[in-house]
A and B are shown apart, each in its own frame.
Chain A
Amino acid sequence: MGVEHFIVALILFMLIAALIAAETRDLLSAVICIGAAGFALSVIDLLLGAPDLAITQVVVEVIALVLLVRVVLRREDTSTTDARDALRTGAVLLAGGVLLVVTFVAVGGTGADGTIPAFGAATFANPDEALPSPVSSDYLAKGPAETGAANIVMAILLDYRAYDTLGEATVIFVSILGVYVILRQVGRRKQEPVL
């Protein structure tokens, strides 16, 4: 009974929550289902050795949930008129998904010569001597000495790839600006008398 079984169970929980969110008629139920999926994702992150991600996911999840509940509450529009061709769209997407899975398995699936490294295999282990060593192993081996940070993820985020974080802050700033511009009440102010 490894951690893999628990992760599979949690992803199944996410899948069921997503399906209920897709098919429920009540918008509040859909929003709460997406919250459940997000908290399950947080637990999965914790199991995968990513405590920073788990904490961030919980914080972001709570904020997103509050925003969505705020929109859904007090707005009496739960009329989810189903699209006429929902069934056809679903069938096409299901076929596309089957095609994706078959392609994924056909090109090797997971594994050393597959498209994605096998689950649990270290992506950066066993470097070929002729090649430069993968960047992740350098981060792990030299990060504490080079940056002085005990948390390697934070060392990458705030030191090695600080420009990425600057870009992230820019994106957040622009999105806040966008929210402000969209929600601003314009044209309600009384006009200045023209002399």
Chain B
Amino acid sequence: MGITIYLLTFAVLLVGLYIVVAKKNIIKIIVGVLIIDYAVNLLLVLVGYRSDGVAPILSPGQTAADLAETGVDPLPQAMVLTSIVIGLGITALMVSMAIRLHQKYGTFDMNRIRKLRG
């Protein structure tokens, strides 16, 4: 069961890669980058999981030693939290570039944008 989860995550990543490489529409490419982002974040969180693990948050009646015994790995979560927010920044940049290209060329299609040049 465990390796199935990892392989499915790889499959999601490959679908995103396929979109980025094969599609010619800028919005599609942005969607592909987002899918790759999701797959990598998911893979990191999956590696940090432990069976029947609890969230690394100290609840009442629980000591830090209990948490060390049952908690999931908090380090990948902290890193992925940073990664998610940075992903939003990247998305905003890509979207603004797409808006600009559409203003200038009137299309999202990379083939037509290339043809229109010069």
| B56 and A157 form a contact (CB under 8 A) | no
Cα separation A129 to B49 with both chains bound (whole Å): 23
| B85 and A120 form a contact (CB under 8 A) | no
| Contact (A8, B5) CB under 8 Å given A151-B58, A157-B81, A182-B96 | yes
A112 near B: Cβ within 8 Å? Answer: no
| B14 and A93 form a contact (CB under 8 A) | yes
| A116 and B47 form a contact (CB under 8 A) | yes
Binary A-proximity of B70-95 (CB < 8 A = 1, otherwise 0)? 01111101111110111111111101
Task: Pick the contact of B106: A37, A77, A110 (CB < 8 A).
Answer: A77
| B23 and A97 form a contact (CB under 8 A) | no
| B58 and A50 form a contact (CB under 8 A) | no
Cα separation A136 to B64 with both chains bound (whole Å): 12
Secondary structure call for the A interface = helix
Number of chain B residues whose Cβ lies closer than 8 Å to a Cβ of chain A: 85
Listed residue (A63, A176, A179) with the most chain B CB atoms within 10 angstroms of its CB: A179
B116 near A: Cβ within 8 Å? Answer: no
| B82 and A165 form a contact (CB under 8 A) | yes
| Contact (A81, B24) CB under 8 Å given A56-B81, A60-B84, A60-B87 | yes
- B interface residues, Cβ below 8 angstroms from A: 1-12, 14-19, 21-25, 27-28, 30-32, 34-35, 38, 41-42, 45-51, 53-59, 64-65, 67-68, 71-75, 77-82, 84-93, 95-100, 102, 106-109, 111-112
Per CB-CB distance, the 3 closest pairs between chain A and chain B, nearest first, are: A119-B2, A175-B89, A120-B51
